[in-house]
Amino acid sequence: MAPRSEEAWAWFAAVYQAVQEIPHGHVTSYGHIARLVGRPECPRQVGVCLKHLPSPSAEGSEQDPEWHSGNVPWQRVINSKGCISPRGPGGAERQAAALRAEGVEVTRGHLGEYFIDFSAYGWFPDMLPSEAADVEG
């Protein structure tokens, strides 16, 4: 992959930090993460960031990237319809299993798609908890 510009690194960092704030057992949408980081027009780019989230190294060495699938709960971000977005083979199943492991109920649609009830599991704050603490403090 080509080296990223400072602007791209800042964008990836903002997305990963926002996703880290989604509480266990909840989900939000790509679009809501985009709004929380100040770029409401960029929900697809949030998906790109999560697509490029690296895996942690097997040994958990100091060479692990700052953000990886072990510390950014990628599985908690779904599309605006409450559905797990399709990806490569087994990806949607893996995401559904990760959400179920957190106690999130995942149902199957008629076409095999995976749905999560936003009214039960949705997380849609007006601002990130870390930013709210800054405003209050």
Residue whose C-alpha is closest to residue 46's, from 78, 82, 3: 78
Other C-beta atoms closer than 10 Å to the C-beta of 83 total 15
What residues pair up with 116 in beta bridges, in sequence order?
106
Q: What is the pLDDT of residue 59?
A: 60
The model's pTM: 0.89
Give the Å distances, CA to CA, from 57 to 64, 75, 76, 95.
6, 19, 22, 20
Taking only the tens place, the pLDDT of each residue in 108-135 is: 999 999 999 999 999 999 999 999 877 6
pLDDT for 31-81, tens place per residue? 999 999 999 999 999 999 999 998 887 665 566 678 999 999 999 999 999
Q: What is the pLDDT of residue 57?
A: 74
Indicate whether 7 pLDDT > 70. Answer: yes
| pLDDT confidence band for 27 (50 / 70 / 90) | very high
Are 116 and 123 in contact, with CB atoms under 8 Å apart? Answer: no
CATH C-level class of 6-54+63-136 = mainly alpha
- pLDDT value of position 68: 92
**Three-state secondary-structure class, residue 86:** coil
Q: Rounded to the nearest 5°, which phi and psi values hold at 101?
A: -65, -20
Q: Give the pLDDT of residue 132.
A: 82
